[in-house]
């Protein structure tokens, strides 16, 4: 969502145009760019690695977050209408919307009456191809047998293969204009209703699941279509990251706190690195030396490119600070923030501060050691043309306006946010101006505790406080059925499969963590209307 950078400075050109900021290429921007969603960041990193190494291979994540074989599913396509809210000539145009189904555990409806069917657990697709989300949402596969549930993963319009205008889907604002969250929610409602009818399972309850943007959609779907879904589990869903509901500096402060909690020295080193980087990168000679120090594939032209490269590493590592090794985004060890700080703290007194931060960031970019160099600056004609990135760029320039800034307390350079600058930049790059307050108008957000307590029900908001996005999420119970499950050391997107313990004498069926079991109980309450959940039986 920034241009030509992903996160904050010039490097990693990927989301929109430089239009997203009023900053120049030669100085620190005065605005904090929006963060690229994890799926798109994963695509970006794969593209960067391919360019940096000719024999780099794509890493495919499986349902348990490893390279093992993913749970099976079948691929289907639904004839979806282009526009659900108007009766213009193009409104009834159809496109093929992709969805995946796993019926391994489904309790099918009884013959004749159609009753007795198991529930449908439906994943509301995010900003990317649906297979990626299906193979990284192992929690749904874990709990499906306990409920006899049918698993359905629906791809979001304008992503993956669900392109209403094919390769021309991003050709102009006239085609991209059909990419909105409200259209996506209507897609989900129509597809779910049609699927239940075709399966003779009209009475089967539906629970929607989602993580990150998908979690936002899941919670909004429950509010907008309560007659279609009786409950929702929204994981790491920053539905309060709009307008002035959440402090604009909360995201960067949360990232900083993750590092500070591991080591005050680690935090201080990173905080001090930006001025040193600016000073050394102020001359051509300095830039050449920095290019060598950071092992750039090509000589770096701007010090801000390196700054953005570093900030990307520190920010996304905080977002995927999983307690086990994972390749969800990059190949990383368990607790990668802790490991980064160990690297910084392990340097002897008097060591070059930039050597410290480079070594730490290298854990994110090259933990496996297979990258000969780092792709810090990219050509202007690279992956910014990616359809997925174009899609989120459009959404970030129309309705998904999440203001972000950086305070003096952060380990990142201070920055601000301007609605006016964002509007002008978006108009320059897309030809349309954003509606920065539309999300709160359409879905609410202000005084959410009082509003939802009066009419909402059956929504589970789960957040891990190590996740920077958690600050924009629902962190307190709203009612007896709108609950917030919060773990102090939890990370972003906790719908991943819980790994089995390796001890031979462990008898529990899945070895669920307490947090996951609480989720299971909450979902049981929604599906069965009972106060007690399914029993986890020992073998």
Span 305-331, pLDDT tens digits? 999 999 999 999 998 888 888 877 788
pLDDT of residue 496: 63
Tell me how far apart the alpha carbons of residues 302 and 29 are, in angstroms, rounded to a whole number.
13
- Least trusted range by pLDDT, from 61-65, 259-263, 413-417: 61-65
| SS3 of 332-371 | ECCCHHHHHHHHHHCCCCCCCHHHHHHHHHHHHHHCCCCC
Taking each helix axis from N to C end, the angle separating 353-366 and 303-319, rounded to the nearest 10 degrees, works out to: 60
- 247-370+402-415 CATH pick, 3.20.20.60, 1.10.275.10, 1.20.120.980, 3.50.50.60: 1.20.120.980
Tell me how far apart the alpha carbons of residues 286 and 502 are, in angstroms, rounded to a whole number.
51
Tell me: pLDDT of 468 over 70.
yes
The model's pLDDT over 162-196, given as tens digits with 9 standing for 90+, comes to 999 999 999 999 999 999 999 999 999 999 999 99
Question: Residue 321 in contact with residue 262, Cβ under 8 Å?
Answer: no
The model's pLDDT over 368-422, given as tens digits with 9 standing for 90+, comes to 998 899 999 875 444 444 445 588 889 999 999 999 999 999 999 999 999 999 9
Kindly list the catalytic residues.
Answer: 212, 467, 492
Tell me: pLDDT of 49 over 70.
no
Tell me: pLDDT of 14 over 50.
no
pLDDT of residue 292: 96
CA dihedral 392, 397, 398, 401 (to 10 degrees): 90
pLDDT of residue 429: 87
pLDDT of residue 325: 87
Please state, for a pLDDT cut of 90, what percent of the chain lies above it.
Answer: 61
The two tokens of residue 47 are: 């593209």
pLDDT of residue 524: 66
Tell me how far apart the alpha carbons of residues 243 and 403 are, in angstroms, rounded to a whole number.
7
Phi, psi angles (nearest 5°) of residue 419: -60, -40
Question: Residue 530 in contact with residue 505, Cβ under 8 Å?
Answer: no
pLDDT of residue 326: 80
CB atoms within 10 A of CB 297: 18
Average pLDDT estimate for 513-529 = 58
Please state, for a pLDDT cut of 70, what percent of the chain lies above it.
Answer: 75
Question: Residue 416 in contact with residue 31, Cβ under 8 Å?
Answer: yes
pLDDT category of residue 347 using cuts at 50, 70 and 90? very high
pLDDT of residue 301: 93
Tell me the whole-structure pTM to 2 decimals: 0.83
Which residues partner with 151 through β-bridges? 102, 121
Which residues partner with 460 through β-bridges? 233, 483
pLDDT of residue 240: 97
Q: Which CATH architecture has domain 74-243+442-528?
A: 3-Layer(aba) Sandwich (3.40)
Residue 444 backbone zone (phi > 0: left; psi -120 to 50: alpha; other: beta): left
In the chain, helix, strand, coil percent, each to 5?
40, 10, 50
Mean pLDDT of the chain: 81
More confident residue, 503 or 482: 482
pLDDT of residue 265: 97
The model's pLDDT over 79-98, given as tens digits with 9 standing for 90+, comes to 999 999 999 999 999 999 99
Q: Could you give the residue range(s) of every CATH 1.20.120.980 domain in the chain? A: 247-370+402-415
The model's pLDDT over 193-237, given as tens digits with 9 standing for 90+, comes to 999 999 999 999 999 999 999 999 999 999 999 999 999 999 999
Pairing mode, strands 206-211 and 459-464: unpaired
pLDDT category of residue 143 using cuts at 50, 70 and 90? confident
Following DSSP, what letter does each residue of 457-504 receive, concatenated? --EEEEEETTSGGGGGS--S--SSSEEEEEETT--S---SPPPPP--T
The model's pLDDT over 473-487, given as tens digits with 9 standing for 90+, comes to 999 999 988 999 888
pLDDT of residue 159: 95
pLDDT of residue 324: 83
Question: Residue 309 in contact with residue 281, Cβ under 8 Å?
Answer: no
pLDDT category of residue 136 using cuts at 50, 70 and 90? confident
Sheet holding 231-235, edge to edge: 74-81, 94-102, 150-154, 120-124, 206-211, 231-235, 459-464, 482-487
Q: Could you give the residue range(s) of every CATH 3.40.50.1820 domain in the chain? A: 74-243+442-528
Query: CA-based diameter of the chain, in Å?
Result: 80
Place of tokens 């959440």: 246
Highest mean pLDDT among 124-138, 284-298, 327-341, 497-511: 284-298
Question: Residue 213 in contact with residue 37, Cβ under 8 Å?
Answer: yes
pLDDT of residue 64: 37
């Amino acid at each position: 969502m920034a241009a030509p950078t992903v996160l904050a400075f010039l490097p990693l050109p990927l989301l929109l145009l430089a239009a997203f900021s009023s900053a120049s290429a030669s100085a620190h921007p005065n605005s904090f760019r929006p963060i690229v969603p994890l799926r798109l960041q994963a695509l970006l990193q794969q593209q960067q690695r391919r360019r940096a190494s000719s024999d780099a291979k794509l890493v495919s994540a499986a349902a348990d977050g490893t390279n093992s074989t993913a749970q099976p599913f079948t691929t289907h396509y639904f004839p979806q209408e282009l526009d659900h809210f108007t009766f213009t000539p193009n409104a009834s145009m159809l496109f093929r919307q992709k969805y995946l189904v796993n019926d391994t555990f489904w309790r099918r409806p009884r013959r004749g009456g159609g009753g007795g069917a198991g529930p449908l657990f439906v994943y509301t697709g995010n900003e990317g191809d649906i297979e990626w989300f299906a193979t990284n949402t192992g929690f749904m596969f874990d709990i499906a047998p306990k409920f006899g549930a049918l698993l359905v993963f629906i791809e979001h319009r304008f992503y993956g293969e669900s392109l209403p205008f094919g390769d021309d889907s991003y050709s102009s604002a006239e085609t991209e204009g059909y990419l909105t969250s409200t259209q996506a929610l209507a897609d989900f409602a129509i597809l779910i209703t049609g699927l239940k009818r075709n399966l003779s399972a009209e009475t089967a309850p539906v629970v929607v699941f989602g993580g990150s943007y998908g979690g936002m959609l899941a919670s909004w779907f429950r509010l907008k279509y309560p007659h279609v879904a009786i409950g929702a589990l929204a994981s790491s869903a920053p539905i309060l990251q709009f307008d002035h509901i959440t402090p604009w500096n909360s995201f960067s402060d949360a990232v900083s706190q993750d590092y500070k909690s591991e080591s005050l020295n680690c935090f201080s080193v990173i905080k001090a690195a930006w001025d040193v980087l600016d000073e050394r990168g102020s001359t051509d000679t300095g830039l050449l030396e920095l290019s060598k120090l950071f092992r750039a594939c090509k000589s770096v032209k701007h010090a801000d490119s390196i700054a953005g490269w570093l900030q990307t590493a520190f920010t996304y590592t905080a977002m995927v600070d999983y307690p086990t090794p994972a390749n969800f985004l990059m190949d990383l060890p368990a607790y990668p923030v802790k490991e980064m700080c160990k690297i910084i703290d392990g340097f002897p007194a008097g060591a070059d501060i930039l050597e410290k931060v480079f070594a730490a960031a290298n854990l994110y970019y090259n933990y496996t050691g297979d990258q000969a160099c780092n792709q810090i600056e990219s050509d202007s004609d690279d992956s910014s043309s990616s359809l997925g990135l174009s899609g989120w760029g459009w959404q970030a320039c129309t309705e998904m306006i999440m203001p972000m800034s950086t305070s003096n307390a952060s380990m990142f350079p201070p920055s601000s946010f301007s609605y006016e600058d964002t509007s002008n930049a978006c108009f320059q790059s897309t030809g349309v101006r954003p509606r920065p307050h539309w999300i709160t108008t359409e879905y609410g957000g202000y005084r959410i505790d009082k509003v939802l307590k009066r009419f909402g029900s059956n929504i589970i908001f789960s957040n891990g406080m190590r996740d920077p996005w958690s600050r924009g999420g629902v962190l307190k119970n709203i009612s007896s059925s709108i609950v917030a499950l919060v773990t102090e050391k939890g990370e972003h997107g906790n719908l991943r499969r819980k790994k089995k313990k390796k001890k031979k004498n462990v008898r529990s069926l899945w070895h669920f963590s307490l947090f996951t079991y609480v989720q299971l109980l909450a979902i049981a309450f929604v599906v069965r209307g009972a106060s007690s959940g399914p029993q986890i039986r020992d073998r």
